[in-house]
Structure 1
């Protein structure tokens, strides 16, 4: 099946050296399965690694970037498609429309925003696409603990929490994507 996978992640590499390799492996695996990547369009950090993994393995790479982030300088030669939008909200909306599933690997504020946006829209029934949270090296452990705290205190229901699939490695990401 020809899927498009949105990957949300950091435009920095973070402090764990393996993340750089795992991000590349994620991109490579997307391309090897004949799937396409939909991502934020930047060429730096983990975002750049994922797109390099797809591109260097002859995969399709679609970037979606807000006009005010053009300083990110997307490498247009490495993109099959590039969409410019006006706002981050438009970016998330278009990425959602172009994607069949969402994978979230380590990142910062923008990544958190993207995670919560696709989760909230799934919770209200706007989509039923897979949301896979890659908890590499325990990066998301504190967030998962807080989400459990929210569940325990009645603000998140089990049915909400079940919309996110939490994995710890690249292979498990693909196992989840194969069945979605």
Structure 2
């Protein structure tokens, strides 16, 4: 994995542990020689991920929509900053520029990015690992809901392992490195569906 897209919030929660976590993720990736592809912002967890990577001599590629770049939230310290027309182009760039995805705590936009990465993996638009950092138990309910969707039958058995999770960044990176791509829907026969 040469580059990973990091999905996270642009908010700054009251509890500083989330900013510290984001910084640690960026720093850890940089120390491992893994570039960061992220939303291009300088605020909240986004800014902390970039700062962690940049302060540890890492590559940071930001991808930000024009509307946000124009409102002075773009991080001009990035190694590269791509300004795109909208959110669809942004998410496509994340997929094109990275070898996998890590989701750390965030809100609605973060969830949108995570589920699209999982959906695209199921379909076969990419075969990269999709990691979820469940620090502080933040995603316990999401992990349980994903298991519930699988138990009910809305997630095919072949796709149960697409979402890889761990409570620790080192553990998550280890699991992502060991990921074996699954059979995508595009390659399945009607009887498999």
2:174 pairs with 1:175 = yes
8 Å Cα contact 2:35/2:58 also seen in 1: yes
The aligned runs of 1:131-150 (5 Å cut-off) are 131-150=130-149
Q: What count of residue pairs does the alignment treat as equivalent?
A: 178
8 Å Cα contact 1:103/1:134 also seen in 2: yes
Give the 3-state SS of the residue equivalent to 2:63 in structure 1. Answer: strand
Residue equivalent to 1:9? 8
2:79 pairs with 1:86 = no
TM-score (ref. length: structure 2): 0.86
8 Å Cα contact 2:47/2:75 also seen in 1: no
Give the 3-state SS of the residue equivalent to 1:26 in structure 2. Answer: helix
Shift of 1:38: 0.3
8 Å Cα contact 2:62/2:75 also seen in 1: no
8 Å Cα contact 2:164/2:172 also seen in 1: no
Larger radius of gyration: 2
Instruction: List runs of 5+ in structure 1 lacking aligned partners.
Output: none
Instruction: List runs of 5+ in structure 2 lacking aligned partners.
Output: 180-193
Residue equivalent to 2:188? none
8 Å Cα contact 2:43/2:73 also seen in 1: no
8 Å Cα contact 1:10/1:106 also seen in 2: yes
Shift of 1:19: 2.1
Pairwise CA RMSD: 1.5
